[in-house]
């Protein structure tokens, strides 16, 4: 695996494959095309999100631009009580401007009492997340700042994949793990993040998805005695021979993975468990949901049914030739069916 300077080479050719790290510049719209850039931008789905791994609280957040609409969301849930707090805001499509050189850039959403900012610094070896969300209805304000340790040896290796999708679509994604510290305050609760225990999981996408699309995705991570361990697991319609956005992390490395299967237990309970396995046996886990966040949208030609569940994983991972027990590790599992 190599690390290209840019996803699209100087001759305007898009690069595909699995990279050893994120290319410095990721701009899918720089690819040679007869279609004007502005029209292609309407089909590009871009987001940068985080899953926070904490024993007592579940938290995910995202800044996303779907071309026709930009939005920001954050939810925080108490694992013991199930009490969840949700925050969201929208803006015009194309207004978010996620940085092409992500690890030296900034992404900010500030609208109507919703303030969320990512500040990345490759040079300082840290990334920061600043949160300032106003109270609404019976939901209290949420404020705080998190610091992600991005120094080599502390953060994981990147999982960086560029692939073709059915119907002429394309996908680019970056996933990575970071020790996270800081404090979030929501109402009377104070959520303290310990960088020796807690993890922030990056999910960056810049993809031209098929109009009708679906995926199932899960991620989790933890600290072991030598560093960060975790998994990124996904299945979606694919083109034969293309890399999948699956991988296994262990200290100092990220290993390629493919052919992952998700099976939900029979029944109607939304919190029934899922079994997730890989064909090669390196992944064999059961996910037990504790709560969920749902989004249902019906806007004529645009529709979406999205479910993200937070909970815990148990089973085994085989990374770096070693079988590692997965013992109640917090994480998320989501599925999406959409017309985009």
Cβ of 80: how many Cβ atoms within 10 Å?
10
Going by C-alpha positions, the residue among 175, 176, 172 that lies closest to residue 28 is 172
Mean pLDDT computed over 68-82: 94
- How does pLDDT run across 308-317, given as a tens digit for each residue? 999 999 999 9
Say if 2 falls within a structural domain: no
Going by C-alpha positions, the residue among 49, 54, 51 that lies closest to residue 198 is 54
Phi first, then psi, for residue 227 (nearest 5°) are: 155, -155
- Does the pLDDT value for residue 7 go beyond 90? yes
Phi first, then psi, for residue 214 (nearest 5°) are: -155, 155
Say if 110 falls within a structural domain: yes
Say if 193 falls within a structural domain: yes
Cut 0.85: pTM above it = yes
Say if 259 falls within a structural domain: yes
Say if 22 falls within a structural domain: yes
Mean pLDDT computed over 138-163: 97
Say if 225 falls within a structural domain: yes
Say if 1 falls within a structural domain: no
- How does pLDDT run across 262-319, given as a tens digit for each residue? 999 999 998 999 999 999 999 999 999 999 888 777 666 677 788 999 999 999 999 9
Could you list the residue range(s) of the whole structural domain that residue 80 is in?
A: 17-339
What is the structure's pLDDT at 299? 67
Say if 5 falls within a structural domain: no
Whole-number mean pLDDT of the chain?
95
Domain total for the chain? Answer: 1
């Amino acid at each position: 695996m190599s690390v290209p300077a840019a996803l699209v080479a100087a001759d305007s050719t898009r690069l595909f494959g699995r990279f050893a790290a994120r290319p410095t510049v990721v701009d899918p719209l720089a690819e040679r095309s007869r279609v004007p850039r502005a029209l292609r931008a309407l089909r590009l789905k871009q987001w940068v999100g985080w899953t926070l791994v904490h024993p007592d609280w579940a938290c995910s957040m995202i800044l996303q631009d779907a071309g026709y609409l930009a939005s920001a969301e954050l939810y925080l849930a108490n694992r013991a009580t199930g009490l969840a707090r949700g925050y969201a805001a929208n803006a015009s499509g194309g207004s978010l401007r996620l940085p092409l050189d992500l690890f030296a850039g900034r992404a900010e959403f500030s609208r109507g009492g919703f303030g969320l900012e990512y500040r990345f610094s490759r040079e300082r070896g840290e990334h920061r997340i600043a949160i300032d969300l106003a109270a609404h209805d019976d939901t209290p304000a949420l404020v705080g700042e998190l610091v992600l340790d991005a120094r080599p040896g502390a953060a994981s290796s990147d999982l960086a994949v560029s692939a073709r999708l059915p119907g002429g679509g394309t996908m680019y994604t970056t996933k990575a793990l970071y020790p996270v510290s800081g404090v979030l305050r929501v109402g009377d609760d104070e959520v303290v993040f310990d960088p020796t225990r807690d993890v922030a999981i990056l999910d960056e996408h810049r993809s031209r998805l098929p109009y009708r699309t679906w995926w199932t995705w899960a991620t989790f991570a933890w600290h072991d005695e030598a560093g960060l361990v975790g998994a990124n697991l996904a299945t979606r319609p694919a083109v034969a021979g293309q890399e999948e956005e699956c991988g296994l992390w262990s200290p100092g490395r990220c290993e390629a993975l493919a052919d992952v299967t998700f099976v939900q237990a029979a029944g109607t309970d939304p919190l029934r468990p899922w079994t997730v396995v890989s064909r090669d046996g390196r992944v064999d886990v059961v996910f037990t949901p504790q709560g969920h966040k749902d989004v249902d949208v019906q806007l004529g030609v645009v529709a979406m049914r999205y479910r993200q569940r937070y909970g815990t994983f148990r089973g085994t991972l085989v990374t770096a030739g070693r079988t590692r027990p997965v013992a109640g590790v917090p994480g998320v599992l989501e599925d999406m069916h959409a017309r985009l």
